[in-house]
Amino acid sequence: MEYNIALIPGDGIGPEVVAEATKVLDKVCEKYGHTFHYTSLLMGGASIDVHGVPLTDETIETARKSDAVLMGSIGGNAATSPWYKLEPSKRPEAGLLKLRKSLGLFANLRPAYLYEELKGACPLKEEISDKGFDMMIMRELTGGLYFGEHKTEKVDGLDTAVDILTYNEEEVRRIAIRGFDIAMKRRKRVTSVDKANVLDSSRLWRKVVTEVAKDYPEVTLEHMLVDNCAMQLVKDPAQFDVILTENMFGDILSDEASMVTGSIGMLSSASLNETKFGLYEPSGGSAPDIAGKNIANPIATILSAAMLLRYSLDLDSEADAVEEAVKTVLRNGYRTGDIFSEGCKKVSTSEMGDLIAAAV
């Protein structure tokens, strides 16, 4: 089969980790007889440097015409980079928000899985980490506070900032349906996270999710307040299967979940629209402090490529092969610096990519 894949290397360590993920995808093509046609695109700081804006209309259209997009991280050091002296709408992260909105990427999937080989890197108590965990955080991605009206103005002589959080029932319903569909393929349990004791938007969220649940009698639904969920993630992460939540809560909780795995460098993500099209990227940042040193962990990006195979191209066996290759390499004791422990073999970014590709 032939597929068109858009690559957005991004900023910082992005080009390094995308190169390793592409290396693994090429091995998949070789083993399974596929052909991937890659188109490299600019976004974020890299696009600002060339075009003066973080995302061009041409990039959006090229991405739209592809079967899927694989992306590295974007952005830089906010304290030192000239990109952050620009107005907010011209900064690197604005390009990502615009791309999500333009392509209708409303469903963000962020798995958090504790590998047996990495339990020692988990910051939680041993009695907690020994139980392991395997959860999928489903975050609504194109509504809520991040996409509402933002303004700062003088009110009674005082600088006053306003950020508006808005959801309509259809925005909630479509992410809820996607969340329950994913749960049906997993352990059939959904924890819907909101702040319904305070926010009208959360009360609507809870109402619509409860309605959607009626169409999935095999799935157990639990409602949980976001502050309690934040506590439960470090107290007993094994209780969670699918966490379904709105944009800002999902942003925060998914980062928390990623860190209890031991390293954010291990966590993949997918952002999907109502078709099979998706944007796949590592959960971590661009880490400009280690860019170009060949020490970044490429596994999150490689696992994102596996999600691309599974969710956009329907190549489940190929995705399984990539995920199993990652486990094999970890089982054999190879580690990048962020997950290294005594007795293991430390490898570079490119060496880790080579090892995983060879194990496919």
Whether residue 263 has pLDDT greater than 80: no
pLDDT at residue 267 in the model: 86
pLDDT band at 110 (very low <50, low <70, confident <90, very high): very high
| Residue 263, C-beta contacts closer than 8 angstroms, at least 6 positions apart | 118, 121, 297, 338, 339
pLDDT over 90 percentage in the chain = 88
pLDDT tens digits for range 18-55: 999 999 999 999 999 999 999 999 999 999 999 999 99
pLDDT tens digits for range 128-166: 999 999 999 999 999 999 989 999 999 999 999 999 999
Segment 67-94 mean pLDDT: 93
- Decide if 23 is catalytic: no
Domain count for the chain, please give it. 2
Backbone φ and ψ for 122, nearest 5 degrees, come out as: -70, 130
pLDDT at residue 56 in the model: 97
Segment 280-299 mean pLDDT: 93
pLDDT band at 251 (very low <50, low <70, confident <90, very high): very high
pLDDT at residue 169 in the model: 98
Q: How many CB atoms lie within 10 A of CB 119?
A: 16
pLDDT at residue 118 in the model: 85
Annotate 328-355 with DSSP letters as a single string: HHHHTTEE-GGG--TTSEE--HHHHHHH
Please identify, among 215, 245, 260, the residue that sits at the C-terminal boundary of a domain. Answer: 260
* Nearest Cα residue to 208 out of 164, 168, 157, 154: 168
pLDDT tens digits for range 49-80: 999 999 999 999 999 999 999 999 999 998 89
Task: Find the angle CA(74)-CA(75)-CA(77) to the nearest 5 degrees.
Answer: 145
Residues 199 and 315 placed together within one structural domain of the fold: no
Q: How many CB atoms lie within 10 A of CB 307?
A: 24
- Per-chain mean pLDDT for the chain: 95
Residues 357 and 322 placed together within one structural domain of the fold: yes
Question: How far separated are the first and last CA of the chain, in Å rounded?
Answer: 18
Segment 215-234 mean pLDDT: 98
197: domain CATH number is 3.40.718.10
Whether residue 264 has pLDDT greater than 80: no
pLDDT at residue 46 in the model: 97
Which of the residues 90, 119, 195, 327 is marked catalytic?
195
pLDDT at residue 33 in the model: 97
Segment 289-295 mean pLDDT: 96
Residues 130 and 229 placed together within one structural domain of the fold: yes
Range of the domain at 328: 1-106+284-360
- Decide if 146 is catalytic: yes
Residues 67 and 154 placed together within one structural domain of the fold: no
Residues 294 and 319 placed together within one structural domain of the fold: yes
Q: Determine which helix (DSSP H) or strand (DSSP E) holds 318, and give its type and residue range.
A: helix 316-331
Most confident of the ranges 73-87, 115-129, 198-212, 270-284: 198-212
**Three-state DSSP state, 356:** helix
Whether residue 245 has pLDDT greater than 90: yes
Q: How far apart are CA 95 and CA 98, in angstroms?
A: 5
Q: Are 111 and 268 in contact (CB under 8 A)?
A: yes
Whether residue 262 has pLDDT greater than 80: no
Q: How far apart are CA 96 and CA 69, in angstroms?
A: 12
Q: How many CB atoms lie within 10 A of CB 104?
A: 16
Residues 6 and 77 placed together within one structural domain of the fold: yes
Q: How far apart are CA 268 and CA 185, in angstroms?
A: 18
Q: At which residue do the structure tokens 């078709």 appear?
A: 275
* Nearest Cα residue to 72 out of 29, 35, 40: 40
pLDDT at residue 265 in the model: 74
Which of the residues 49, 57, 130, 227 is marked catalytic?
227
pLDDT at residue 217 in the model: 98
With 0-12 / 13-18 / 19 or more C-beta atoms within 10 angstroms meaning exposed / middle / buried, residue 271 is: buried
Which of the residues 11, 194, 251, 338 is marked catalytic?
251
Please identify, among 215, 244, 260, the residue that sits at the C-terminal boundary of a domain. Answer: 260
Q: Does any domain span residue 98?
A: yes
Angle between helix axes 14-32 and 299-311 (nearest 10 degrees) is: 50
Q: Does any domain span residue 205?
A: yes
Tokens in use for 307? 């999600």
Distances (CA, A) of 109 to 90, 152, 221, 267, 344: 27, 33, 18, 11, 31
Residues 102 and 127 placed together within one structural domain of the fold: no
Q: What is the pTM of this model?
A: 0.87
Which of the residues 26, 181, 255, 354 is marked catalytic?
255
- Decide if 84 is catalytic: no
Q: Does any domain span residue 139?
A: yes
Which of the residues 146, 181, 188, 346 is marked catalytic?
146
Whether residue 81 has pLDDT greater than 90: yes
Please identify, among 227, 260, 293, the residue that sits at the C-terminal boundary of a domain. Answer: 260
